[in-house]
């Protein structure tokens, strides 16, 4: 695939020939998976009763020092598979009753994923496709997924780019992420639901509230509501879990109930109605997939 010979898929634009070397993300030209399963812990309109068919891709173009999935995202744990095998996994999850196919951290494998979906979608694969991303994306990469993705499940992690640089080692996060999210919204537009209340098409933007940074989260929420109103879901996440010791002391603790409640109150005062909030016990390591139990055969 030509795009992998001078890789510019994400805003890092490292230009690596991934047939010969690894990109900044750590990926080669071959798809690498860390885990796949039916997952019950996404937003209710995604997981439903049967679960979301999550496919966790190894490696990542973000370098978050607090990453819960560090084993696969930064350490590169996983197994190389063919494009054909990826298609088989999608169909296997569909057969098991998955509500959707949930592509987790797919950015650096977009050309391969698109090739697979062009063959399957609307033929043997008949459930929605979810693109689950940090949003540190190039618009052109998101455009490749037009008509292949039904639901975008996008993070908007930082308003202040200083935080993005300190915590995720990336430049111009907010600008790149918001441009990418604009393209996601253009593709899927307003929310659409099945008869059983599951999301068929639309955009969910997740705001991970970091300890000590509620003001940054509020700025993100205000931006999203001003830009999209209630045509999207905003998911307010309290699940930050300190699994790695960080040089920033605030990241070595969980979010307090008072911090989270303050952000939720702010969202309500803005008038937001399409929002998800989380229960107190979501900041728990038990919600992190057990990547040691590698089910890829």
* Res 4: pLDDT: 97
Say which CATH superfamily domain 34-287 falls into: Aldolase class I (3.20.20.70)
Q: What is the C-alpha to C-alpha distance for residues 50 and 44, in angstroms, rounded to an integer? A: 11
Is the CB of residue 143 less than 8 Å from the CB of residue 183? yes
- pLDDT given for residue 190 in this prediction: 86
Residue stretches of the chain with pLDDT short of 50: 283, 285-287
Indicate the pTM of the whole model.
0.94
> For the segment 226-250, what is each residue's pLDDT rounded down to a tens digit?
999 999 999 999 999 998 788 999 9
- Give residues with Cβ within 8 angstroms of 204, minimum separation 6: 43, 45, 46, 151, 152, 153, 154, 232, 233, 234, 235, 276
The Cα–Cα gap between 65 and 68 comes to 9
The pLDDT, as a whole number, for residue 131 is 98
Summarize pLDDT for 251-260 with one digit per residue, the tens.
999 999 999 9
């Amino acid at each position: 695939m030509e795009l992998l010979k001078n890789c510019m898929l994400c805003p890092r634009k490292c230009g690596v020939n991934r047939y010969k070397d690894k990109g900044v993300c750590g990926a080669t030209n071959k798809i690498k998976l860390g885990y796949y399963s039916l997952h019950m812990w996404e937003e209710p309109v995604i997981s439903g009763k049967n679960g979301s068919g999550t496919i966790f891709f190894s490696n990542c173009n973000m370098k978050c020092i607090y990453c819960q999935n560090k084993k696969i995202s930064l350490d590169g744990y996983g197994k190389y598979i063919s494009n054909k095998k990826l298609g088989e996994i999608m169909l296997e999850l569909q057969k098991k009753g998955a509500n959707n196919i949930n592509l987790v951290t797919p950015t650096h494998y977009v050309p391969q994923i698109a090739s697979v979906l062009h063959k399957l979608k609307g033929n043997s694969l008949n459930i929605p496709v979810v693109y689950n991303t940090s949003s540190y994306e190039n618009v052109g990469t998101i455009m490749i997924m037009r008509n292949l993705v039904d639901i975008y499940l996008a993070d908007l992690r930082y308003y202040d780019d200083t935080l993005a640089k300190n915590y995720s080692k990336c430049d111009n996060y907010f600008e790149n992420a918001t441009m990418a999210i604009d393209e996601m919204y253009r593709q899927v537009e307003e929310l659409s639901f099945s008869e059983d209340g599951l999301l068929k098409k639309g955009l969910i933007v997740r705001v991970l509230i970091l300890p000590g940074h509620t003001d940054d989260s509020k700025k993100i929420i205000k931006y999203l509501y001003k830009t999209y109103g209630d045509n999207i879901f905003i998911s307010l996440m309290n699940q930050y879990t300190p699994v790695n010791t960080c040089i920033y002391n605030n990241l070595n603790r969980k979010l307090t109930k008072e911090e989270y409640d303050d952000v939720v109150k702010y969202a309500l005062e803005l008038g937001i109605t399409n929002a998800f909030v989380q229960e107190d016990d979501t900041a728990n390591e038990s919600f992190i997939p057990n990547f040691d139990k590698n089910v890829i055969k």
